[in-house]
Amino acid sequence: MGKIMRKKLIILIVLFCMFLATGCVGNKLVTPEKAGTQADADTPNGEEATETQNLTEKTEIKEYTLEELAKYDGTNETIYIAYQGQVYDVSSDSYLWKDGNHEGCPAGKDITEELDRTPHGAEILKKYPIVGTLKE
């Protein structure tokens, strides 16, 4: 009886491993740093292949002056902030920016100095889309 149970257990483990292996194929984690490249697809010479952008879907990055950025201060539905020359759309978390301010960081402004002093730091910006650059 022990041999039969052992065989069943081995078969069950093998089937479970096969299920995991086939179920996870193609579900690769893409980090913000790797978005835009095919980190998993190797070219024949072993280098990473770069994903080409569809030419019909050009994404234009706008340059914002401080005066233009100030228009996105939370008084309308769109909220932008600038950090180290990049302009981020933080509108998805508008509840955090009530009255155009989030924990001492004003919306519609360059908050590089303020953000560097926050507990979460600039890491939090990885979840927001970059919509432009700050014109100096």
The alpha helices in 1-136, defined as continuous H runs, are: 2-24, 66-69, 112-116
Read off the pLDDT of residues 82-93 as tens digits, 9 standing for 90 and up. Answer: 999 999 999 888
Q: Name the band, by pLDDT with cuts 50, 70 and 90, for residue 64.
A: very high
The domain ranges of the chain are 2-50, 62-134
Report which DSSP code applies to 79: B
Interatomic CA distance for residues 122 and 81, integer angstroms:
12
Q: Is the pLDDT of residue 51 over 90?
A: no
Maximum average pLDDT range among 28-32, 47-51, 114-118, 129-133: 129-133
* pLDDT at 56 (0 to 100): 43
Q: Name the band, by pLDDT with cuts 50, 70 and 90, for residue 97.
A: confident
- The larger pLDDT score, comparing residue 37 to residue 83, is at 83
Taking the domain 62-134, which CATH number applies?
Answer: 3.10.120.10
Backbone angles phi, psi at 106, to 5 degrees: -80, 140
Interatomic CA distance for residues 12 and 61, integer angstroms:
53
Interatomic CA distance for residues 43 and 20, integer angstroms:
27
As given in the structure block, the two tokens for residue 30 are 């893409």
Closest CA to 68 of 129, 131, 135, 115: 135
Residue bearing tokens 């984690």: 29
